[in-house]
Structure 1
């Protein structure tokens, strides 16, 4: 079994998408031959696409961008559709996806999962399943927490759901979840640790984040032929 794991995050360095792939890898069949690809501003090479078409399973891991797929990953998906070899038309490639987003609710990822499903249909791939996980920015602070415990308890269920489909080869309905963590505490901690921290680095104060710049009203003039006489 050949598995290609694709990190679709446009960011460099450590990413939440890479975090999910790292947690998935130990759960995959030991006999599997696993390759990892990074899709960013630099496009994949010709030989990379050839290798992807020789795999049995594609696992896409990416962040939610405007309720959809990041443009860099979308470019790769489009290239795969256009480069599909004629002699590979009968080959079955199973596709799985792990989507993380900055909102708390995991079901915010539904549209992105639908995009992956539609892409599979266009390419003749078999869509295995996917999961969407909310509050992805928490992952960076939970690296030492075992999957299936504490705030990562629901992530454990999501990974089990994905791995079961990979091992059985059967389709499963997408799974959407969020951390096992109170929503109000997540809002409080993200505001204080993330937004206030980012403001300080940029020479701003918390009150500056709440400032609303005044926008002058827009006055529309009626068309000349519509002026009342």
Structure 2
């Protein structure tokens, strides 16, 4: 039985993350009779000082799926550190399996899925450094809305495409001799104005600031800007 390791890399601690939900959806499509499935939570790995054990799990993997949110057009910093540390472990231990397949699921709050492309390229580069085969990524725009508004009529096509993408991933994992596959882009076509979408997004930031005893003007501060 081959090992599938599903890596969730959301910085959230006390709430279920969208990245984890996507990962669970992908994992549910994988045949449990043919593959064992193990989840790794990068945030918990650092908090519990469990890196060595999780790296050992990754080293035994035949398939790795990495799911994470895009933060300011970048990967979460903790995931970057995790991948660098695992690469060091990989090169020094020499125990990792060969012919590993790697996939990634990247979601962002913007409606355009192509915004995630650079982050997917980073995972592809990481795969090459492990001598692994990067298969493809699932790039998701409007990530949280895939769950928050999944029953809305305008979301029907996107949700169907999301399920199809994870079915395609499961099929690719099961096939030994897979042909090259392009990444899958899943966006959201809003029936209302983009200006309204961004207005609501900005309102969410203001609400979060108030919860943390800050004001709107605090969101525009630049604490690391050098004085001229």
Structure 1: distance between partners of 2:55 and 2:210: 44
Structure 2: distance between partners of 1:141 and 1:66: 22
- The corresponding residue for 2:32 is 30
Structure 2: distance between partners of 1:15 and 1:21: 10
Larger Rg: 1
Normalising by the residue count of structure 2, what TM-score does the alignment of the two structures yield? 0.77
SS at match of 1:62: strand
Measured after TM superposition, the shift of residue 161 of structure 1 is 3.0
Q: Which runs of 5 or more residues in structure 1 are unaligned? A: 214-219, 221-229
- The corresponding residue for 2:192 is 184
Measured after TM superposition, the shift of residue 82 of structure 1 is 0.6
The total of aligned residue pairs comes to 205
- The corresponding residue for 2:225 is none
- Taking the TM superposition and a 5 Å limit, the aligned residue runs for 1:188-199 are 188=196, 191-192=199-200, 194-196=201-203, 199=206
Structure 2: distance between partners of 1:154 and 1:186: 22
Asked if structure 2 preserves the Cα contact closer than 8 Å seen for 1:19 and 1:139, the reply is no
Measured after TM superposition, the shift of residue 182 of structure 1 is 2.3
Measured after TM superposition, the shift of residue 22 of structure 1 is 2.0
Structure 2: distance between partners of 1:49 and 1:201: 35
RMSD (CA atoms) = 2.9
Asked if structure 2 preserves the Cα contact closer than 8 Å seen for 1:101 and 1:109, the reply is yes
- The corresponding residue for 1:175 is 184
Q: Which runs of 5 or more residues in structure 2 are unaligned? A: 222-227
Residue 98 of structure 2, aligned match among 86, 91, 97: 91
